[in-house]
Amino acid sequence: MVSNDVSQDVCDALLLTPKARVMAPLVVWRRGPDDYLLLTEPELGDTVLRHLTRMRLRADVEISSEEHTSHVVFGGDEGIPTDAYGVPAVEVLDGALEPTIDGEELERLRVLAGTPRWGREIDDRVLPAEAGLDETAISFSKGCYPGQEPIARQHYRGRVNRALRMLEIDSDDVPPYDTELLLDGNPVGRVTSAARDNGRVIALGYVRREVPEDAALVVAGSPARLV
């Protein structure tokens, strides 16, 4: 049902529509030989549960929901490995831990790492390859799953028209979600996430493939460039 090979202890995966649109990003944790925990965003839990239950058919499997609190521990080794923030880290479930950095700093690290997030870089408008998820959350050697045919066709026969890129913006203001990215006055993409970083603004956004690497771009009236 999911896009990756779940024989691994931990892997990223996607739950896709037949047309390869993302229904939910997942981290699949194999807790035991017959016990898998699928971690997703809180607002997607019911969606994942309903879809897997509906598609269970005659499979001898039990599906239930669990709720957990989650902490990211930098430099830790006891937990679920994550590379979402560009430095060694693990995700710890249900730990009695107090935060040492705020959400703004966590978001800055995610943007610097170029990691897509649900509701920003990932939604039902985005193809997995546009967000680079074909490199981390898809197996091209496993068996069939919903959305496999368009995923394989794009991978082996073509390429996407836009890609997730990092931008540097000459501005003191963080542009809002979905701000247009312009080249010579024409829209060539959109900003999905942005954060302040040491006196500059960095952002993630979808940019058309034909845009040159040295293009002089504009975001909300401010100069911007691909990094």
Cβ atoms of 94 and 68 within 8 Å: the answer is yes
CA dihedral sign, ordered 98, 100, 104, 109: negative
Q: Which amino acid is at 141?
A: S
Q: Which two tokens stand for residue 91?
A: 């995700």
DSSP letter string, 135-188: GTS--SSS---TTHHHHHHHHHH---SEEEEEEEE--SSPPPTT-EEEETTEEE
Q: What percent of the chain has pLDDT over 70?
A: 100
Name the CATH superfamily for 10-69+104-157: Aminomethyltransferase beta-barrel domains (3.30.70.1400)
- Residue 193 tokens, joined: 């996430």
pLDDT band at 59 (very low <50, low <70, confident <90, very high): confident
Q: Tell me: the pLDDT tens digits for 117-168?
A: 999 999 988 999 999 999 999 999 988 999 999 999 999 988 899 999 999 9
What is the percent of the chain where pLDDT is above 90? 91
| Domain extent listing, the chain | 10-69+104-157, 162-226
Q: What is the pLDDT of residues 13-55, one digit of tens each?
A: 999 999 999 999 999 999 999 999 999 999 999 999 999 999 8
Which amino acid belongs to residue 197? D
Contact assessment for residue 151 and residue 15, using Cβ atoms and an 8 Å cutoff: no
| Domain covering 162-226 in this structure, CATH number | 2.40.30.110
